[in-house]
């Protein structure tokens, strides 16, 4: 088991992203797990105020947005939290893969299309089904205990090689059009 993982969230602090539950999720996750959490984002003032009031040693938040800081967070984190209720595509999970940060996502939209749960064949991320305090904190706990040091390093190498570039997508479209032509 890895100790003191760094979990990050980068994005808008709105209900669509599951951020309305973050104050409760983070308080519970920090008590139950040996983790640190860093958040970068802005949105609903009530959520911002609740997050900045969390009195935990292993938690910090930056209200606002800073592109350079976002990239530093992707690169330095172990896990990226994306408990979105709505996510047609999602780019953050793909950024995190390139940086070697394991995404923890709700199985919805583009997130379920791009992230395979670690318990499945060829899996590399953590997928939960639904956005509740219990489901997200369970996913955090699962991520914290699932990886031993060797598995974690092997997974990092694997996820950094996943190719979500337009080259692959364009070739898939070309293949589809060719198959329809026959």
**Tokens read off for 15:** 């209900």
Q: What are phi and psi of 37, to 5 degrees?
A: -130, 135
If you average pLDDT over residues 97-115, what whole number do you get?
96
Instruction: Find residue 11's DSSP bridge partners.
Output: 41
- 168 pLDDT above the threshold of 80: no
Cα(88)–Cα(110) distance, integer angstroms:
5
Query: DSSP H helical segments within 42-132, as ranges?
Result: 45-52, 67-76, 92-99, 109-114
Cα(179)–Cα(26) distance, integer angstroms:
49
Cα(111)–Cα(168) distance, integer angstroms:
18
CA angle 106, 111, 117 (to 5 degrees): 70
- 3 pLDDT above the threshold of 90: no
If you average pLDDT over residues 124-139, what whole number do you get?
97
Which sign does the torsion angle of CA 155, 33, 120, 96 carry? negative
- Running DSSP on this structure, what letter comes out for residue 182? -
Q: pLDDT tens-digit profile of 76-90?
A: 999 999 999 999 988
- 1 pLDDT above the threshold of 50: no
Note the pLDDT of residue 33: 87
**Tokens read off for 110:** 């583009």
Q: What is the CATH number of domain 5-181?
A: 3.40.50.2000
- 42 pLDDT above the threshold of 80: yes
In percent, the amount of the chain with pLDDT more than 90 equals 71
Average model confidence (pLDDT) across the chain: 92
Cα(169)–Cα(45) distance, integer angstroms:
39
- 2 pLDDT above the threshold of 60: no
Band (pLDDT 50/70/90 cuts) for residue 148 is: low
Q: What are phi and psi of 21, to 5 degrees?
A: -95, -10
Note the pLDDT of residue 147: 67
If you average pLDDT over residues 139-143, what whole number do you get?
93
- Say what the pTM is: 0.88
- 116 pLDDT above the threshold of 50: yes
If you average pLDDT over residues 139-155, what whole number do you get?
82
Cα(140)–Cα(92) distance, integer angstroms:
17
- Running DSSP on this structure, what letter comes out for residue 116? -
CA angle 115, 172, 161 (to 5 degrees): 45
């Amino acid at each position: 088991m890895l100790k003191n993982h760094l979990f990050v969230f980068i994005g808008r602090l709105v209900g669509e992203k599951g951020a309305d539950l973050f104050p409760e999720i983070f308080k519970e996750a920090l008590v139950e797990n040996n983790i640190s959490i860093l958040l970068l984002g802005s949105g609903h003032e009530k959520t911002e105020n609740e997050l900045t009031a969390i009195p935990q040693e292993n938690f910090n938040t930056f209200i606002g947005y800073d592109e350079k800081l976002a990239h530093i967070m992707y690169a330095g984190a172990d896990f990226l939290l994306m408990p979105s209720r709505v996510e047609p595509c999602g780019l953050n999970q793909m950024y995190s893969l390139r940086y070697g940060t394991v995404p923890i996502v709700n199985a919805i939209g583009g997130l379920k299309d791009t992230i395979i749960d670690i318990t499945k064949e060829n899996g590399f991320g953590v997928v939960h089904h639904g956005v509740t305090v219990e489901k997200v904190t369970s996913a955090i706990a699962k991520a914290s205990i699932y990886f031993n040091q060797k598995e974690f390093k092997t997974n990092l190498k694997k996820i950094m090689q996943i190719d979500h570039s337009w080259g692959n997508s364009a070739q898939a479209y070309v293949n589809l059009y060719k198959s329809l032509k026959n």
